[in-house]
């Protein structure tokens, strides 16, 4: 595995591969890699000639009161995991290379960035879109891979790719889960043992809500009440930021689940913010009624 730290070298190396007609699969990450990331790496390897993984903890996507300073870092562990997956290139730039002095350009994907997590993390998706656009320009991928766990992020990146005519296929891959259903996330490492056990309530709530919708309950009031009740059964939940049903395309909250819908939750257990989601089709759609 080649380690590249300088954007210009990454750009030129990618150019060499493209010139030889090789496709580039790209997995952007902030490190602290887990099976969720590695599933993206395996998919990228399967579908491309060259696989590039980036590790860059992007300061621009963290708010002033967020966890930038304590975000988990495991450089040796990450490098070893990527070596074992036979990744071709690890791109690990410094912040000063990504945001040189005087940097002042930002990407704003309007509307999609304001709702769900965007309402609670102002500026977060502006930071994500800006760094992903930069990484795309540097790595020059044919395909880029994102986990469904960060569904809003993936939708925003797909929209940016479309709006800016980037010739990149942004691929959304399934969420990887622990045995008790908890969506894998680097932030799960913040949870103590009791909190970790409590966190399983999120996926349980999403599964039970999916069943509720499939049984024919499709009005938003009933669904929202049901989700809140299920989550409130867990006393360690400190705050529910949102728990509802949204359009998977526009991310608008739905009045009724008449076709495909996104069930999404964001909450805090102790100080740790966790998100998860599931896509669901209503019973009406399945029965063709
Ligand atoms: O999902 C992440 O880890 C980050 O938001 C990303 C896409 C690497 C951008 O910093």
Q: Answer whether 161 contacts ligand 1 (Cβ < 6 A).
A: no
Give yes or no: residues 272 and 141 share one domain.
no
Q: In the predicted model, what is the mean pLDDT of residues 117-121?
A: 98
Ligand 1 center to residue 53 CA distance, Å?
Answer: 11
Structure tokens at 248: 């998977």
Q: In the predicted model, what is the mean pLDDT of residues 19-39?
A: 98
How many domains are there within the chain?
Answer: 2
pLDDT of residue 241: 98
Average pLDDT, the chain: 96
Q: Residue 22 domain-assigned?
A: yes
Give yes or no: residues 26 and 99 share one domain.
yes
Q: Answer whether 130 contacts ligand 1 (Cβ < 6 A).
A: no
Pocket test for ligand 1, best of 117, 128, 138, 144 (most atoms within 8 A of CB): 128
Q: Answer whether 29 contacts ligand 1 (Cβ < 6 A).
A: yes
* Confidence grade of residue 230 (pLDDT, cut at 50, 70, 90): very high
pLDDT of residue 153: 98
pLDDT of residue 169: 98
Write the pLDDT tens digit of every residue in 54-79: 999 999 999 999 999 999 999 999 99
Q: Residue 12 domain-assigned?
A: yes
Q: In the predicted model, what is the mean pLDDT of residues 13-33?
A: 98
* Confidence grade of residue 281 (pLDDT, cut at 50, 70, 90): confident
Q: Residue 178 domain-assigned?
A: no
Q: What is the 3-state secondary structure (H, E, C) of the chain?
A: CEEECCHHHHHHHHHHHHHCCCCEEEEEECCCCCHHHHHHHHHHHHHCCEEEEEECCCHHHCCCCCCHHHCCCCHHHHHHHHHHCCCCEEECCCHHHHCCCCCCCCCCCCCCCCCCHHHHCCCHHHHHHHHHHHHHHHHCCCEEEEEHHHHHHHHHHHHHHHHCCCCCEEEEECCCECCCCCECCHHHHHCCHHHHHHCCHHHHHHHHHHHHHHCCCCEHHHHHHHHHHHHHCCCCEEEEEEEEEECCCCCCECCECCCCEEEEEEEEECCEEEEEEEEECCHHHHHCC
Q: Answer whether 25 contacts ligand 1 (Cβ < 6 A).
A: no
Give yes or no: residues 259 and 152 share one domain.
no
* Confidence grade of residue 175 (pLDDT, cut at 50, 70, 90): very high
Distances (CA, A) of 74 to 33, 34, 41, 44, 53: 8, 11, 17, 22, 15
- Residue with the smallest CA separation from ligand 1 atom 1 is 29
Give yes or no: residues 163 and 211 share one domain.
no
Q: What percent of the chain has pLDDT over 70?
A: 97
Candidate from 142-146, 239-243, 255-259 with smallest mean pLDDT? 255-259
Ligand 1 center to residue 217 CA distance, Å?
Answer: 35
The whole domain housing 10 covers 2-173
Ligand 1 center to residue 135 CA distance, Å?
Answer: 10
The CATH number linked to 245 is 3.30.1300.10
Contact 55, 92 (CB under 8 A): yes
Give yes or no: residues 40 and 167 share one domain.
yes
Give yes or no: residues 133 and 217 share one domain.
no
Write the pLDDT tens digit of every residue in 176-199: 999 999 999 999 999 999 999 999
Q: At 59, give phi and psi (nearest 5°).
A: -60, -25
Domain boundary residue, one of 117, 152, 173:
173
Whether the pLDDT of residue 106 is over 70: the answer is yes
Give yes or no: residues 143 and 263 share one domain.
no
* Confidence grade of residue 282 (pLDDT, cut at 50, 70, 90): low
Q: Answer whether 58 contacts ligand 1 (Cβ < 6 A).
A: yes
Residue 203, burial from CB neighbour count under 10 angstroms (0-12, 13-18, 19+): buried
Give yes or no: residues 165 and 235 share one domain.
no
Q: Residue 180 domain-assigned?
A: no
pLDDT of residue 284: 54
Whether the pLDDT of residue 289 is over 60: the answer is no
- Beta bridge partner(s), residue 279: 262
Question: Which of 174, 181, 185, 177 lies closest to 198 in space, CA to CA?
Answer: 181
Whether the pLDDT of residue 46 is over 70: the answer is yes
| CA-based radius of gyration for the chain | 20
The CATH number linked to 75 is 3.40.50.620
Catalytic annotation present for 17: no
Give yes or no: residues 26 and 149 share one domain.
yes
147 CA: nearest ligand 1 atom:
1
Whether the pLDDT of residue 173 is over 70: the answer is yes
Give yes or no: residues 68 and 110 share one domain.
yes
Q: In the predicted model, what is the mean pLDDT of residues 254-274?
A: 96
Q: Residue 181 domain-assigned?
A: no
Q: Residue 80 domain-assigned?
A: yes
Give yes or no: residues 13 and 153 share one domain.
yes
Whether the pLDDT of residue 286 is over 70: the answer is no
Give yes or no: residues 162 and 199 share one domain.
no
């Amino acid at each position: 595995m080649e380690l590249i730290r300088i954007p210009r070298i990454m750009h030129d190396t990618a150019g060499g591969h493209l010139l030889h007609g090789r496709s580039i699969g790209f997995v952007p990450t902030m490190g602290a890699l887990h099976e969720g990331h590695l599933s993206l790496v395996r998919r990228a390897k399967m579908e491309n000639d060259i696989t590039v993984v980036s590790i860059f903890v992007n300061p621009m996507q963290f708010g002033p009161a967020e966890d930038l300073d304590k975000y988990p870092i495991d450089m040796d562990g990450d490098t070893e995991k990527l070596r074992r997956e036979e990744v071709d290139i690890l791109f690990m730039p410094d912040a000063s290379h990504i945001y040189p002095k005087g940097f002042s350009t930002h990407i704003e994907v309007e509307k999609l960035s304001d709702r769900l997590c965007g309402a609670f993390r102002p500026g977060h998706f502006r930071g994500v879109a800006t760094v992903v656009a930069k990484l795309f320009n540097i790595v020059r991928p044919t395909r880029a891979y994102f986990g469904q766990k960060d569904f809003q992020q993936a939708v925003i990146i797909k929209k940016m790719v479309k709006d800016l005519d980037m010739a990149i296929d942004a691929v959304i891959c399934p969420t990887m889960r622990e045995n008790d259903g908890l969506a894998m996330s680097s932030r799960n490492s913040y949870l103590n043992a009791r909190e970790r056990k409590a966190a399983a309530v999120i996926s349980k709530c999403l599964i039970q809500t999916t069943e509720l919708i499939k049984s024919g309950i499709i009005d938003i009031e009933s669904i929202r009440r049901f989700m809140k009740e299920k989550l409130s059964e867990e006393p360690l939940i400190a705050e529910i930021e949102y728990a509802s049903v949204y359009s998977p395309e526009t991310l608008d909250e739905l009045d009724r689940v008449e076709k495909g819908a996104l069930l999404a939750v964001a909450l805090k257990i102790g100080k740790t913010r966790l998100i998860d989601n599931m896509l669901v089709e209503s019973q009406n759609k399945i029965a063709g009624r």
